[in-house]
Amino acid sequence: MGLKTSWLESANAPECPFPLNNLPYGVFSIGDEDPRCGVAIGDMILDCQKAEETGLLDFDETPLFDVPFWNEVMEAGPALWVALRARLQELLGNDAHKAAIQPMLVSQADAEMHLPFLVAEYTDFYAGRHHAFNVGSMFRDPANALPPNWLHIPIGYNGRASSVVVSGTPVRRPWGQLKSPDHALPAFLPSRRFDFELEMGAIVGSASDGPVTVDEADAMIFGYVLLNDWSARDIQAWEYQPLGPFQAKATATSISPWIVTKAALEPFRVACPEREFELLPHLKDTGPMLYNIDLDVRLTPKGKAASTIARTNYREMYYSAPQQLAHHTTSGCPMNPGDLLGSGTISGATKPERGSLLELSWGGKEPLQLEGGETRSFLEDGDTLTLTGRARGDGYVIGFGDCTGQILPALENPYKR
Ligand code: MN
C-alpha cells in the first residue's frame, strides 16, 4: 500500500511528512486568533472548527471542535476515530471537495502550535534495554546492570502532567540539591548535568477502571508523539533512592505538536525483541505492538551549525506501549483520555544510537565532538535540542513534526529575594 494522493499537491511530495496517509491532529493559532483544532496535510493545516461549522465534519457526537484540544474526540471513542479519519481522507483526497475545503486551509508556516490535548496525567517508563543497561553499567556495575525486576515488568514512575509543554517552548535550566562525591554535604545550585531523553509518548484515548489486557490496552491508545524527558542528572543521582526520580524530571517534558494516530502507524508495526524470560501471561506479546520509526537527535549550539548526535529506532524498545499500559492498570489504577505514557529512553546497541547525553558522553567521561569543533558532555545554555521521527512507507513518509526546545540559563538564585 503506497502513497494516498491528495488534491493538495504539497501533500504528494515524496519526503512530505504529512501526506494523506498521515493526517495528524494538532492545535494551532494564527496571529491573535484563539487556538483551534487542525489536521496537517502537506504544508497546510485544515481548520477543523470551520469544517465542522459548515457541516463538512458532521457526526452524532458533534460538536467536537468547539474546544482547542483533542480530548473530546478521544472521549467519543474508537468508532468515531475511524469515522473521522475516513471522512478527512475523503475531504482531502477527493477532488469533489477541493473548492469547499480550500478556504479552510491555513499555511503551517503562519501557524503557532499549542499542546494538542489536555494532559490528564503523565507516567514515564524505563523500557529501553540498551538505555537501562548503559545507565546501570555507569551507576552500578556492568555485571548487574539491569535491576532484577527489569526483564519482568516495565518499570515506571508517576511524572507531572503540569511539566508537559509543546515543542518550541524554551526550557529553563533548573536549580536543585546536588551532592558532589568530593563534598561531604549537598549544595543548592543550578544543574550542571542537564540532559535530554529521546522517547515516544503514547496517548491514552479511552478510559479504564480496572485491569486490562495487552490487546485491550492497544485498542485504548489514540496516537503517538515524540517526547523529550528533560533530565537533571546531578539532581537525579542524589534524590533517586529509594522512590525514583522526582525534581530531576519535573522541569519540563516536551512533546511534538502533532498526534500521529495509531491508524496512520498501522503499516509500521513490528514485534518486540526475543524475551530472555517468558513474561507473565497478562503481559505476554499478543502481536506486533512496536513501530518501525526512525528517530534522530540534533544539537544546535546558539549561533552554530547543527550536529546530529544520535540516530535510532522506536523498535529498539523491550516493552511496547500497550504492555506498559496493561501493566499500569494491573493494580486497578484508573486510566483516562489524555493520559500520556513516556516510552523510556530509546537507545540502540551501538554508541551513535544512544538516546541521551548521559550515555553518549558516558557520564561526561567521553565528551561528544560536534560540527565546528565544540564538545558536549551535557547541555549548555543556548543549546537547542531537536528530536525528529519518520516512518518510511512505500513512496511516502509519516512524520511527527519536530520536538524542539532551547535551554535558557538558570535564574538568579530563586531564594535570594
Ligand atoms: Mn525518561
Task: Please write the tens of the pLDDT for every residue from 371-390.
Answer: 999 999 999 999 999 999 99
Specify whether 71 is located in the same domain as 150.
Answer: no
pTM across the whole model: 0.98
| Domain termination site, one of 114, 149, 177 | 114
Q: Are 383 and 370 in contact (CB under 8 A)?
A: no
Specify whether 168 is located in the same domain as 83.
Answer: no
Q: Catalytic: which of 131, 282, 327, 328? A: 131
402 part of a folded domain: no
The domain that holds 65 is classified in CATH as 2.30.30.230
Specify whether 29 is located in the same domain as 154.
Answer: no
Task: Please write the tens of the pLDDT for every residue from 198-219.
Answer: 999 999 999 999 999 999 999 9
Per-residue pLDDT for 333 more than 80? Answer: yes
The pLDDT, as a whole number, for residue 416 is: 86
Determine the distance separating the centroid of ligand 1 and the alpha carbon of 332, expressed in angstroms.
24
Per-residue pLDDT for 417 more than 80? Answer: no
Determine the distance separating the centroid of ligand 1 and the alpha carbon of 30, expressed in angstroms.
33
List the domain range (segments joined by +) for residue 17.
Answer: 9-114
Task: Please write the tens of the pLDDT for every residue from 146-180.
Answer: 999 999 999 999 999 999 999 999 999 999 999 99
The pLDDT, as a whole number, for residue 1 is: 76
396 part of a folded domain: no
Specify whether 239 is located in the same domain as 333.
Answer: yes
Q: Which long-range contacts (CB under 8 A, 24 or more apart) does 238-247 make?
A: 238/177, 238/178, 238/179, 238/186, 239/176, 239/177, 244/157, 245/157, 247/174, 247/176, 247/177
403 part of a folded domain: no
- Residue 177 has a CB neighbour count (10 Å cut-off) of 13
Confidence category of residue 414, pLDDT binned at 50, 70, 90: confident
Per-residue pLDDT for 139 more than 90? Answer: no
Specify whether 241 is located in the same domain as 342.
Answer: yes
Determine the distance separating the centroid of ligand 1 and the alpha carbon of 354, expressed in angstroms.
13
The domain that holds 167 is classified in CATH as 3.90.850.10
Q: Are 370 and 376 in contact (CB under 8 A)?
A: yes
Task: Please write the tens of the pLDDT for every residue from 5-15.
Answer: 999 999 999 99
Across the range 284-294, mean pLDDT stands at 97
Determine the distance separating the centroid of ligand 1 and the alpha carbon of 280, expressed in angstroms.
24
Q: What is the Cα 31 distance to its own chain's centre?
A: 26
Amino acid at 90: E
303 part of a folded domain: no
Task: Please write the tens of the pLDDT for every residue from 398-412.
Answer: 999 999 999 999 999
Measured distance CA(323)–CA(325) in Å, rounded: 5
Q: 519518520: which residue's cell?
A: 390
Measured distance CA(411)–CA(169) in Å, rounded: 17
Across the range 102-124, mean pLDDT stands at 98
Specify whether 95 is located in the same domain as 152.
Answer: no
Specify whether 350 is located in the same domain as 270.
Answer: yes
The total of structural domains in the chain comes to 2
Determine the distance separating the centroid of ligand 1 and the alpha carbon of 29, expressed in angstroms.
30
What grid cell was written down for 375? 564538545
| Domain termination site, one of 82, 114, 146 | 114
The pLDDT, as a whole number, for residue 99 is: 98
Determine the distance separating the centroid of ligand 1 and the alpha carbon of 86, expressed in angstroms.
34
Determine the distance separating the centroid of ligand 1 and the alpha carbon of 107, expressed in angstroms.
33
Task: Please write the tens of the pLDDT for every residue from 43-80.
Answer: 999 999 999 999 999 999 989 999 999 999 999 999 99
Specify whether 162 is located in the same domain as 247.
Answer: yes
Determine the distance separating the centroid of ligand 1 and the alpha carbon of 282, expressed in angstroms.
24
The pLDDT, as a whole number, for residue 155 is: 95
| Domain termination site, one of 51, 86, 114 | 114
Whether 131 is catalytic is yes
Specify whether 372 is located in the same domain as 275.
Answer: yes
Please give the mean pLDDT across all residues of the chain.
97
Determine the distance separating the centroid of ligand 1 and the alpha carbon of 25, expressed in angstroms.
24
301 part of a folded domain: no
Determine the distance separating the centroid of ligand 1 and the alpha carbon of 121, expressed in angstroms.
15
Determine the distance separating the centroid of ligand 1 and the alpha carbon of 9, expressed in angstroms.
39
The set of residues, in sequence order, having a beta carbon less than 8 Å from that of 200 and lying 6+ positions away, is 224, 225, 226, 227, 293, 295, 314, 321, 342, 343, 346, 389
Specify whether 94 is located in the same domain as 43.
Answer: yes
Specify whether 107 is located in the same domain as 73.
Answer: yes
401 part of a folded domain: no
Measured distance CA(11)–CA(3) in Å, rounded: 10
Determine the distance separating the centroid of ligand 1 and the alpha carbon of 157, expressed in angstroms.
9
Task: Please write the tens of the pLDDT for every residue from 240-285.
Answer: 989 999 999 999 999 999 999 999 999 999 999 999 999 999 999 9
417 part of a folded domain: no
Strand partners, 337: none
The set of residues, in sequence order, having a beta carbon less than 8 Å from that of 250 and lying 6+ positions away, is 159, 160, 163
Specify whether 110 is located in the same domain as 129.
Answer: no
Confidence category of residue 140, pLDDT binned at 50, 70, 90: confident
pLDDT > 90 in the chain, percent = 96
Q: 494516530: which residue's cell?
A: 261
Measured distance CA(198)–CA(306) in Å, rounded: 17
Q: Are 78 and 32 in contact (CB under 8 A)?
A: no
134 part of a folded domain: yes
